[in-house]
């Protein structure tokens, strides 16, 4: 699998790029100020079919009919292309859309009861509802099995208590997918996921967290204080939540790796244009071999990241036995390469790269989280390294 996509995905890239140029770029400044994407953008994303790539056709998406093989359609690869293109314009807007449609909604698509799917899946694909996925806690991020949010059985259903941290879309979400311990002694086998609609008594959100980057995304603490849910709130199988979360992580990591490609590609394109036009001591910067070589090195890193990311997406679509390994390799490499490329671009912009008026400063802030979110660099290394445990 090279970085050359087939016709289907190249067509889709053109669609995503046109949407990004026409609908996303014009609203970036507004979204960064507001701390969230403008409301109308959700509907526009939905109408363009960009939130329903995994949603079955019966719910208005383009994700085929249930049970259809993903291999031919290349759905994870399409999500990667979308993540890349949206991130060329704005990481914060990109992650808001990706979390709702491709990190939270897939739990409902894959594991939802008919009633849960009927209620949420169509509106999420249409951009008429927004979802969040709440797993991380103040005391447990990388160690998902260590979450302590508790779900206790009651006569009528479940009672949830606990705190979730760093939850993207928390202040915008109509529905949250929440991971909780149904069996605190059961380790990772004691986790179950629940569907929690916004407005459920006992559910509250903290103030927006002030972040280094992703300023257009809404990130908050979520408090569950005696949240009463019915029997029908269980999402998937009781005790299988850890497995469901880990399996959804694969696409999440591909999307985050692909976001890195978008930041890096945008940085490389804009800085190349800049150094071509920038005259220093009477000649353009590109007259200097050292500058040309730096751009070439950035291009090589980007291409390697892209090949690894597309290969991981393709393997995920094909159910390849080494898909998880490829995803870890891609997430680790692409997030680091992207952070390096964007940093190099800032350097080549000189003083202009440090000014807020150049978008490169925003890309520099936004790209850094990709080495942390959805499984840190160290966790990707651990996924590969644990095979070596004697």
Ligand X SMILES: Cc1cc2nc3c(=O)[nH]c(=O)nc-3n(C[C@H](O)[C@H](O)[C@H](O)COP(=O)(O)OP(=O)(O)OC[C@H]3O[C@@H](n4cnc5c(N)ncnc54)[C@H](O)[C@@H]3O)c2cc1C
Binding site for ligand X (CB under 6 A): 99, 133-136, 141-142, 166-168, 211, 214, 219, 369, 372-376, 378-379, 382
At its nearest, how many Å lie between ligand X and the CB of residue 259? 12
Q: What angle do CA 34, 38, 41 make, to 5 degrees?
A: 155
At its nearest, how many Å lie between ligand X and the CB of residue 145? 11
At its nearest, how many Å lie between ligand X and the CB of residue 352? 27
Of the pair 56, 373, the CB lying nearest ligand X is at: 373
Q: Which sign, positive or negative, has the C-alpha torsion 345, 346, 350, 355?
A: positive
At its nearest, how many Å lie between ligand X and the CB of residue 383? 10
At its nearest, how many Å lie between ligand X and the CB of residue 335? 12
**What's the CA gap between 79 and 50, in Å, rounded?**
9
**What's the CA gap between 252 and 244, in Å, rounded?**
13
Task: Phi first, then psi: give them for residue 342, nearest 5 degrees.
Answer: -65, -35
Q: What angle do CA 347, 86, 330 make, to 5 degrees?
A: 70
**What's the CA gap between 171 and 201, in Å, rounded?**
15
At its nearest, how many Å lie between ligand X and the CB of residue 190? 18
Of the pair 311, 331, the CB lying nearest ligand X is at: 331
Query: Are the CB atoms for 26 and 95 separated by under 8 Å?
Result: no
Residue 231, Cβ density class (10 Å: 0-12 exposed, 13-18 middle, ≥19 buried): exposed
* Residue in the block written with tokens 């109408």: 47
Residue nearest to ligand X (CB): 141
* Residue in the block written with tokens 């390849």: 320
At its nearest, how many Å lie between ligand X and the CB of residue 382? 5
- Coil, helix or strand for 230? strand
**Which residue stretches of the chain are H helix?**
7-19, 28-34, 39-47, 70-73, 75-89, 91-98, 105-111, 114-126, 241-277, 289-318, 323-349, 359-367, 377-385
Of the pair 104, 346, the CB lying nearest ligand X is at: 104
């Amino acid at each position: 699998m090279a970085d050359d996509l087939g016709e289907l995905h190249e067509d889709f890239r053109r669609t995503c790029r046109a949407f990004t140029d026409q609908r996303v770029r014009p609203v970036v400044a507004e979204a960064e100020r507001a701390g969230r994407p403008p409301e109308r953008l959700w509907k526009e994303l939905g109408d363009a079919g960009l939130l329903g790539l995994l949603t079955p056709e019966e719910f208005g998406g383009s994700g085929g009919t249930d049970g259809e093989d993903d291999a031919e359609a290349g759905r994870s690869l399409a999500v990667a292309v979308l993540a890349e293109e949206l991130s060329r314009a704005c990481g914060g807007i990109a992650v808001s859309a990706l979390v709702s449609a491709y990190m939270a909604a897939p739990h409902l698509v894959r594991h939802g009861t008919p009633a849960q799917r009927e209620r949420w899946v169509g509106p999420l694909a249409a951009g008429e509802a927004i979802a969040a996925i709440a797993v991380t806690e103040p005391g447990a991020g990388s160690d998902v099995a260590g979450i302590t949010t508790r779900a206790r059985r009651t006569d009528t259903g479940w009672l949830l208590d606990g705190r979730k941290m760093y939850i993207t879309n928390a202040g915008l979400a109509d529905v949250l997918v929440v991971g909780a311990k149904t069996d605190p002694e059961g380790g990772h086998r004691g986790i179950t996921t629940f569907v929690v609609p916004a407005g459920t008594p006992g559910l509250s959100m903290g103030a927006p967290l002030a972040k280094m980057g992703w300023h257009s995304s809404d990130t908050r603490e979520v408090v569950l204080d005696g949240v009463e849910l019915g029997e029908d709130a269980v999402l998937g199988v009781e005790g299988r939540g850890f497995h469901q979360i880990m399996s959804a992580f694969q696409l999440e990591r591909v999307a985050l790796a692909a976001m890195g490609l978008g930041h890096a590609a945008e940085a490389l394109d804009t800085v190349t244009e800049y150094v071509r036009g920038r005259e220093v001591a009477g000649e353009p910067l590109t007259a200097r071999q050292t500058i040309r070589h730096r751009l070439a090195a950035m291009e090589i890193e980007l291409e390697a990241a892209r090949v690894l990311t597309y290969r991981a997406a393709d393997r995920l679509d094909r159910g390849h036995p080494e898909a998880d390994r490829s995803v870890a390799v891609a997430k680790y490499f692409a997030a680091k390469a992207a952070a390096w490329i964007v940093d190099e671009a800032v350097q080549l912009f000189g003083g202009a790269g440090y000014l807020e008026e150049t978008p490169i400063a925003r890309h520099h802030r936004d790209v850094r989280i990709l080495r942390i979110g959805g499984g840190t660099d160290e966790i990707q290394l651990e996924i590969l390294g644990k095979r070596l445990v004697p």
